[in-house]
């Protein structure tokens, strides 16, 4: 076990450093990222702002409470941009060129190699932006969460990260089947947009979709509820269970798609 | 005479191939349809809000009609050329295109237009949902606006298409052209009426946004479809579309010409 | 046996799509598939340390077989073991035992110097530091890499890149080398450098080498044993020399004479049916081995010979002839 962890820790370090040296332009990307995340944050907050000019609460949420959800939405968006999307795109690139063969022939877990083949922390400006929004919202609410609330938040946030990773791995698995996958990551990104609203907004089939099939609502609403001190233990348990189940499922799908993989040119 | 005929032949061939490839990539087309889900999400959100009472002149039905219409306009006038072209420039797919005796802008436009049959196909359920689900009352009643609608949709597509060409031409100079397009989208989400009905924007913002290119790509045809604006306003919008198409078209051509000189000098 | 293959079959489904709009529209609702059998019941054994060439025209099933051996494709039916492992299970011990070098694909990180790829592979293969340095030093010396180690890969020439690919693929001292067109696009000097390097590695480490190549010179220089694959089946498995002997039993004799060949000699050779080309003082003959002595004696008796060579017919001609035979109905 210790050897296992040592190996993968060393690998992660090498992957991170090669990613960094390889992105010759990461300073430019960082600056662009800062500008873009400012605009996207504005575009995420604008409807909220207009909405709460009409109403004082929406589906049981006050403005600053809803802003906490937007804060977690923004943070996780940064996580996706920095740690999930670059790897998925790189893997798709491997598939297109047929060089995934080399990756599959390596004596290390292919799922791990694929998830870490490109990491771009400098694209995670939204993580900082989200933290900023969280502070603004907490100031607006005028109260500071208890330590237990922070702990609960970390637990459900970790579950959210695991769910996102599972979703993106499944996208890579799909890339083995369809020709063009750029659209697929785009699709997931577009669906993720729904996570900026508190989960109680959704009714009927949407509520089911976003809490069980694509548990986006859980990812951002649960951490917000935790920070606000309103998270029920059973909800926390559901988030963690769901994360475990999705990780297991994505692992199974991944292994299956590896078996089915036929590389370019047959 | 033969010039006209060869022109038609060329476009027929191009459109034929375009339709065939649109069908071949129907999986990707489907994904694109699914990607355009934001209106549905916003619909769910705003109808929840409107359950407690109408917002402006929009009740629950009003929001359903608005966002179904937004979806329809998106499907009929959307374009991907900015991604195609930047990708071709970066990955070297542009060279072969340049060898074709046809301006690349026209080539990509043909590919885009060839998707019309497929796009109409996916629009049918939306129109049905509008008429049956919300009721014909949700649509405009002035026949002049019905006549204007196809023209405004074409105009919306042209504004979007030429704007994309401007940004894609930037890819001949800088690596991060797509980031510029992302900027366009981030602003456009709010100012085009995609996240909420355009008229719900705060008044000062609305007055500025009225003139900007985003409104005429979405809110304009949409309000015409739903009869939310007068014929005069539709016509004024059409004039504004013309202005933006001219501006973007000229800018794209100028940028492209300069970029091509660079491309020829550095070989991409 | 290092490699044992029994009744290997690999087939896959491909969508059938006609040309034109109506076919495209039909495909919208109903997609037809047909089964393509790339490899159809192939069996063979390869001993440790052997160098074997897979030959055959495009689409014959060479690369598919190679990929089944490497575990990149799982076989539809049949059994494959490499070093005692089932490749498609992709166990770490198996993966550390093999390596792949493909002339048309590269594993080197494009924007970084080769050393970074080497370091990455060292971490992945868990090569101990001392062994890594030793192997790397040896590879650098053997392939003369010191000048290119610290240049970004995109600045290297194709040949330099290929040598670095080889180094990256061999850092973990694999026992089985899968080489897919390793010399494609290289100039003659570089081709022979790559070949002799592979041979040296094979001899030094007793590694098994499986090679697919269209460059017959690769096969001639490297592989005493060849397998000819056509339409998914093995049509020949044995020594290269025996294959040449079977298809073109003759030897190519080239003779340069001090004066234009006498008409009587040319006429006699032509009547025997062994004259291939005749131009002034140069004669090219193809002679069955049994008649070699007789023919040479006749030539030496009739003319003054300045230079004489006796060669195996070139392998690509042999292959062309072999496939022309099998293609004919």
For chain B, the structural domain boundaries read 2-266
For chain A, how many structural domains are there in total?
1
pLDDT digits (tens, 9 = 90+) for C163-187: 999 999 999 999 999 999 898 888 8
Do B83 and A193 count as a contact with CB atoms less than 8 A apart? no
- Taking the C-alpha atoms of residue C254 and residue C268, their distance in angstroms, rounded to an integer, is 16
Please count the other Cβ atoms lying within 10 Å of the Cβ belonging to residue C327. Answer: 10
| Assembly ipTM | 0.76
Helices (H) and strands (E) in chain C, counts: 12, 13
Partner C contacted by A177 (CB < 8 A): no
Q: What is the pLDDT of residue A266?
A: 41
- Taking the C-alpha atoms of residue C142 and residue C136, their distance in angstroms, rounded to an integer, is 10
What residue numbers bound the domain in which C305 lies?
Answer: 249-312
pLDDT digits (tens, 9 = 90+) for C188-245: 888 998 999 999 999 999 999 999 988 888 888 999 999 999 889 998 999 988 888 8
- Taking the C-alpha atoms of residue C2 and residue C85, their distance in angstroms, rounded to an integer, is 10
What residue numbers bound the domain in which A79 lies?
Answer: 2-260
Residue C175 in tokens:
């026992």
- Taking the C-alpha atoms of residue A254 and residue A112, their distance in angstroms, rounded to an integer, is 11
Do C116 and A21 count as a contact with CB atoms less than 8 A apart? yes
Residue C268 and residue C168 share a domain: no
Q: What is the pLDDT of residue A24?
A: 59
All partners of chain A with 3 or more CB pairs under 8 angstroms: B, C
Q: What is the pLDDT of residue A228?
A: 93
Do B20 and C28 count as a contact with CB atoms less than 8 A apart? no
The alpha carbon dihedral of B60, B63, B69, B75 has a sign of negative
Q: Considering C219, C244, C269, which residue would you say is the last residue of a domain?
A: C244
Closest CB from C21, C23, C28 relative to B26: C28
CB–CB contacts below 8 A, A to C: 76
Residues of A in contact with B52 (CB under 8 A): 55
Residue C216 and residue C69 share a domain: yes
Q: What is the pLDDT of residue B30?
A: 76
SS3 C234: strand
Residue A265 lies in a domain: no
**Nearest chain B Cα distance for residue A162, angstroms:** 23
Q: Considering C192, C226, C244, which residue would you say is the last residue of a domain?
A: C244
Least confident of A125-134, A149-158, B93-102, C40-49: B93-102
pLDDT for residue C328 is more than 50: no
Q: In whole angstroms, how far apart are CA C70 and each of B121, B177, C183?
A: 46, 41, 20
For chain C, how many structural domains are there in total?
2
pLDDT digits (tens, 9 = 90+) for C119-147: 888 888 888 989 999 999 999 988 889 99
Residue C284 and residue C182 share a domain: no
pLDDT digits (tens, 9 = 90+) for A35-55: 888 888 888 788 888 888 888
Residues of A in contact with C67 (CB under 8 A): 101, 263
Residue A157 lies in a domain: yes
Residues of B in contact with C23 (CB under 8 A): 20
Residue C21 lies in a domain: no
Residue C268 and residue C229 share a domain: no
Q: What is the pLDDT of residue B266?
A: 56
> At how many degrees (to 10) do helices C129-143 and C188-205 cross?
140
Residue C165 lies in a domain: yes
Q: What is the pLDDT of residue A265?
A: 41
CA-closest candidate to residue C45, choices C79, C3, C92:
C3
The CATH number covering residue C234 comes to 3.40.50.300
Residue C295 lies in a domain: yes
Residue A266 lies in a domain: no
Q: What is the pLDDT of residue B72?
A: 93
Partner B contacted by C24 (CB < 8 A): yes
> At how many degrees (to 10) do helices B60-77 and B38-50 cross?
170
Mean pLDDT of C306-326: 80
CA-closest candidate to residue C61, choices C87, C33, C37, C78:
C37
Calculate the average pLDDT of chain C: 86
């Amino acid at each position: 076990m210790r050897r296992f962890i040592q190996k993968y820790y060393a690998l992660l370090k090498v992957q991170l450093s090669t990613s960094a040296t390889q992105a010759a332009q990461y300073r430019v990307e960082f600056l662009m990222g800062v500008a873009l995340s400012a605009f996207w944050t504005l575009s995420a907050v604008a409807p909220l702002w207009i909405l709460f000019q009409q109403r004082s609460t929406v589906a049981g949420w006050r403005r600053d409470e809803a802003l906490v959800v937007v804060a977690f939405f923004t943070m996780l968006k940064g996580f996706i941009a920095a740690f999930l999307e670059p790897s998925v795109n790189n893997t798709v690139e491997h598939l297109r060129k047929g060089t995934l063969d080399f990756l599959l022939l390596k004596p290390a877990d292919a799922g791990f190699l694929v998830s870490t083949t490109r990491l771009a922390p400098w694209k995670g400006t939204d993580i900082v932006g989200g933290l900023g929004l969280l502070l603004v919202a907490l100031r607006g609410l005028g109260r500071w969460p208890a330590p237990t609330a922070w702990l609960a938040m970390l637990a459900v946030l970790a579950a959210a990260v695991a769910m996102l990773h599972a979703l993106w791995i499944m996208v890579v698995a799909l890339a083995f089947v369809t020709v063009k996958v750029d659209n697929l990551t785009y699709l997931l990104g577009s669906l993720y947009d729904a996570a900026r609203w508190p989960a109680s907004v959704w009714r009927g089939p949407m509520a089911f979709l976003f809490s069980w099939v694509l548990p986006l609502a859980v990812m951002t609403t649960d951490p917000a509820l935790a920070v606000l001190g309103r998270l029920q233990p059973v909800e926390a348990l559901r988030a963690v269970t769901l994360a475990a189940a999705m990780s297991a499922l994505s692992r199974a799908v991944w292994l299956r798609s590896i078996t089915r993989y036929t590389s370019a040119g047959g | 005479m033969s010039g006209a005929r060869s022109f038609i032949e060329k476009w027929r061939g191009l459109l034929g191939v375009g339709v065939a490839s649109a069908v071949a990539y129907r999986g990707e087309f489907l994904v694109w349809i699914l990607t355009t889900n934001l209106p549905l999400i916003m619909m769910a959100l705003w109808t929840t809000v409107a359950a407690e009472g109408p917002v402006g002149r929009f009740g629950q039905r009003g929001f359903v009609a608005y966002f179904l219409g937004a979806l329809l306009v998106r499907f009929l006038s959307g374009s991907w050329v900015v991604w195609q072209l930047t990708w071709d420039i970066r990955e070297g797919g542009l060279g072969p295109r340049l060898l074709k005796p046809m301006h690349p802008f026209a080539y990509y436009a043909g590919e885009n237009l060839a998707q019309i049959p497929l796009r109409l196909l996916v629009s049918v359920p939306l129109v049905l949902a509008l008429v049956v689900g919300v009721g014909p009352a949700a649509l405009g009643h002035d026949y002049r606006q019905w006549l204007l609608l196809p023209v405004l949709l074409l105009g919306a597509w042209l504004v979007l298409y030429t704007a994309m060409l401007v940004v894609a031409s930037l890819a001949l100079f800088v690596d991060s052209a797509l980031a510029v397009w992302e900027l366009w989208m981030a602003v456009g989400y709010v100012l085009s009426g995609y996240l909420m009905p355009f008229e719900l924007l705060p008044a000062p913002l609305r007055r500025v946004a009225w003139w900007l290119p985003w409104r005429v790509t979405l809110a304009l045809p949409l309000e015409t479809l739903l009869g939310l604006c007068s014929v005069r306003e539709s016509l004024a919008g059409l004039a504004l579309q013309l202005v933006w198409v001219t501006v973007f078209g000229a800018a794209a051509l100028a940028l492209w010409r300069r970029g091509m000189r660079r491309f020829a000098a550095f070989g991409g | 046996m290092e490699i044992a293959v029994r009744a290997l079959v690999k087939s896959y489904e491909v969508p059938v799509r006609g040309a034109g709009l109506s076919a495209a529209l039909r495909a919208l609702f109903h997609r037809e598939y047909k089964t393509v059998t790339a490899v159809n019941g192939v069996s063979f054994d390869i001993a440790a340390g052997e160098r074997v060439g897979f030959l055959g025209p495009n689409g014959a099933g060479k690369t598919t077989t190679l990929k089944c051996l490497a575990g990149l494709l799982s076989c539809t039916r049949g059994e494959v073991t490499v070093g005692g492992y089932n490749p498609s299970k992709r166990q770490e011990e198996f993966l550390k035992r093999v390596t792949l070098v493909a002339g048309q694909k590269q594993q080197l990180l494009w924007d970084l110097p080769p050393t970074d790829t080497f370091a990455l592979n060292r971490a992945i293969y868990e090569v101990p530091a001392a062994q890594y340095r030793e192997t790397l030093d040896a590879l650098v010396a053997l392939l003369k890499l010191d000048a290119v180690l610290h240049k970004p890969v995109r600045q290297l020439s194709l040949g330099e890149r290929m040598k670095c690919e080889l180094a990256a693929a061999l850092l973990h001292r694999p026992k089985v080398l899968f080489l897919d067109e390793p010399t494609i696009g290289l100039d003659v000097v570089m081709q022979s450098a790559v070949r002799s390097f592979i041979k040296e590695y094979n001899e030094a480490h007793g590694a098994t080498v499986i090679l697919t190549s269209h460059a017959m010179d690769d096969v001639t220089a490297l592989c005493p044993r060849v397998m000819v694959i056509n339409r998914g089946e093995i049509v020949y498995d044995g020594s290269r020399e025996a294959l040449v002997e079977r298809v073109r039993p003759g030897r190519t004799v080239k003779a340069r004479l001090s004066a234009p060949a006498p008409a009587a000699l040319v006429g006699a050779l032509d009547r025997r049916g062994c004259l291939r080309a005749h131009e002034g003082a140069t004669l090219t003959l193809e002679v069955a081995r049994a008649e070699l002595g007789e023919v040479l004696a006749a030539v030496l008796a009739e003319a003054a010979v300045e230079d004489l060579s006796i060669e195996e017919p070139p392998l690509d001609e042999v292959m062309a002839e072999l496939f022309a035979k099998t293609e004919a109905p």
